[in-house]
Amino acid sequence: MSTRLAEFIRRASDAGGLQTDDVLAAFLPLARRVADWHEQGLVAPPLRAAALWADDNNALGLRDGAGIAGADRRDVIAALQRPPVSGLQVVGRGRPRTPCRRTRSTSSATVSGSKCSATMTH
């Protein structure tokens, strides 16, 4: 007899949750099945909650136990793996709230506790 994923989660919650070993015992059979499909050039069908079930040993599986042919979408993968152009985006200008000492052509400010420091060109 198999159990829908929602029932599996409810039972686990009622029993006080799942320990690490319980999670691994539940997930690894499904992960191994997906790995087998990958070796055959297949992928898992969409892993929606309604498609997942737990067997009598609380191992997760799919109602439809067949892998499907994957689409070659290397362009999409490449776009997702592309590094960001910048990790910093300037969204406005401001002035330090702490008074800083200024020089003629530049002002310096460093924020460290109550001290302030930055470099701005006039």
Residue-wise DSSP of 28-87 = HHHHHHHHHHHHTTEEPPP--GGGEEE-TT--EEESS---EEPP--HHHHHHHHSPPS-S
Confidence at residue 63, expressed as pLDDT on a 0 to 100 scale: 79
Q: Is the pLDDT of residue 18 over 50?
A: yes
- Cβ burial of 54 (10 Å; 0-12, 13-18, 19+) is buried
Those residues whose C-beta lies under 8 Å from the C-beta of residue 40, and which sit 6 or more positions away, are: 67
Is pLDDT larger for residue 74 or for residue 114?
Answer: 74
Confidence at residue 98, expressed as pLDDT on a 0 to 100 scale: 58
Confidence at residue 106, expressed as pLDDT on a 0 to 100 scale: 46
The pLDDT tens digits for 80-119 are 887 777 666 677 776 656 555 554 444 444 444 444 455 5
Token look-up 């506790």 returns 113
Confidence at residue 7, expressed as pLDDT on a 0 to 100 scale: 83
Q: Hey, what are 26's tokens?
A: 């539940």
* 54 closest CA partner among 85, 101, 95, 8: 8
Q: Across-strand partners of 61?
A: 53
* Stated pTM of the model: 0.52
